[in-house]
Chains A and B, each alone.
Chain A
Amino acid sequence: MDERNFTFMFYGLAAAWAILAIYVLTLVSRERRLARQVEDVKRILEDREKK
């Protein structure tokens, strides 16, 4: 492979993967937050129905 500008090619590929990885991480964190919210709402509903 012609190695001219290899560093910037690496930056380009790294940027592409970094952006996609950050998006996947936001999906994962949203998933966790959602699971927490579901638990909270279920607990509130159970409490209110008991009263």
Chain B
Amino acid sequence: MRDKLLYAAGAAATVILIANLHKILLGIPDEMDQGAIYRILYFHVPSWFTCFAAFFVAGLASVMYSVKRDLRYDVLAVSAVEVGVAFTLVGLATGSIWARIIWGIWWTWDPRLTWALITCVLYAGYLMMRQMIDDASARARFAAVLGTFSFASVAITYKAIDWWRTQHPGPVLPIRAGGGKMDPEMWHAILWNWTAFMLLASVMVAVRISQETRLREVEALRRRAHAI
């Protein structure tokens, strides 16, 4: 049943992405100044929303682990962080390629971009730190602390365009305070791509949870084998 649900979610994500890609490339009106490059926005924004959601889940799971000391929360946290980092890389890469055309540079140390990179490095550090600790409960304890506090970086990244003057475009989405007046057709395409990315991320997290759980079982069996 669980596998069927995962296949259904993956298939739904694929259908939405293909239908939406057709609409993004051929159906949605052009932006006045940027040419085709602005269409990267339909992947850039949803990938950041998706990684923020994944890091939120990881933060919540880290808090729950600290309270309940249940290793299942640790498994959820590491799975969500790993998937979140993959979507963060998509956000950084698409943003950088857009910047090359619009700003004439691949990268600048502006507050939004810098915090986005800090977030990516923090969570990559979280994954690396886990590799360094052998004891499962110590690993989960340290990871829970880092997973909880790293979420502050996500919040700062999100609010950076409100708090500082940045080269990054200001709020253009209608859901944000002071947001721009984006055409509803464009806004809906972003929402559909975000839906597809969230489905994809959910499947990835579920697969990752299953792998992490089995890995722990293998470790337990190995200990048993050595004890015999």
With a cutoff of 8 Å between Cβ atoms, the chain A residues found around residue B89 in the complex are 19
Interface-centre pick from B97, B100, B224 (highest chain A CB count, 10 A): B97
Q: Is the CB of B113 closer than 8 A to any CB of chain A?
A: no
Taking the closest CB of chain B, its distance from the CB of A38, in whole angstroms, is 6
Query: Which of B28-36, B139-147, B181-189 contacts its partner?
Result: B28-36
Q: Which of A3, A16, A24, A38 contacts B214 (CB 8 A)?
A: A38
Measured between alpha carbons, how far is A28 from B131 in the docked complex, in Å? 20
Whether A11 touches B211, Cβ cut-off 8 Å, given contacts A41-B218, A48-B225, is no
In the complex, what residue of chain A is closest to B31 when comparing beta carbons?
A2
Taking the closest CB of chain B, its distance from the CB of A21, in whole angstroms, is 10
Taking the closest CB of chain B, its distance from the CB of A15, in whole angstroms, is 4
With a cutoff of 8 Å between Cβ atoms, the chain B residues found around residue A45 in the complex are 221, 224-225, 228
Q: Are B36 and A19 in contact (CB under 8 A)?
A: no
Q: Are B26 and A16 in contact (CB under 8 A)?
A: no
CB within 8 Å: A-B pair count:
93
With a cutoff of 8 Å between Cβ atoms, the chain A residues found around residue B49 in the complex are none
Measured between alpha carbons, how far is A1 from B93 in the docked complex, in Å? 23
With a cutoff of 8 Å between Cβ atoms, the chain A residues found around residue B208 in the complex are 27
In the complex, what residue of chain A is closest to B27 when comparing beta carbons?
A1
Q: Are A3 and B35 in contact (CB under 8 A)?
A: yes
Measured between alpha carbons, how far is A13 from B97 in the docked complex, in Å? 10
Interface residues of A in 1-51 (CB under 8 A from B): 1-6, 8-9, 11-13, 15-16, 19-20, 23-24, 27, 30-31, 34, 37-38, 41-42, 44-45, 48-49
Whether A16 touches B47, Cβ cut-off 8 Å, given contacts A2-B30, A11-B97, A45-B224, is yes
Q: Are A2 and B97 in contact (CB under 8 A)?
A: no
Q: Is the CB of B172 closer than 8 A to any CB of chain A?
A: no
Q: Are B218 and A5 in contact (CB under 8 A)?
A: no
In the complex, what residue of chain B is closest to A35 when comparing beta carbons?
B214
Q: Are B35 and A2 in contact (CB under 8 A)?
A: yes
Q: Are B90 and A34 in contact (CB under 8 A)?
A: no
Interface residues of B in 11-43 (CB under 8 A from A): 25-26, 30-31, 34-37, 39-40, 43
What 4 A-B pairs are tightest by C-beta distance, nearest first? Answer: A4-B35, A5-B37, A12-B40, A2-B30
Task: Point out residues on B near A: beta carbons under 8 Å.
Answer: 25-26, 30-31, 34-37, 39-40, 43-44, 47, 83, 86, 89-90, 93-94, 97-98, 100-101, 200, 204, 207-208, 211, 214-215, 217-218, 221-222, 224-225, 228
Supply 15 A–B pairs (Cβ within 8 Å), ascending by A: A2-B30, A4-B34, A8-B98, A9-B37, A9-B39, A12-B43, A12-B93, A20-B86, A27-B211, A37-B215, A37-B218, A38-B218, A41-B218, A41-B225, A44-B225
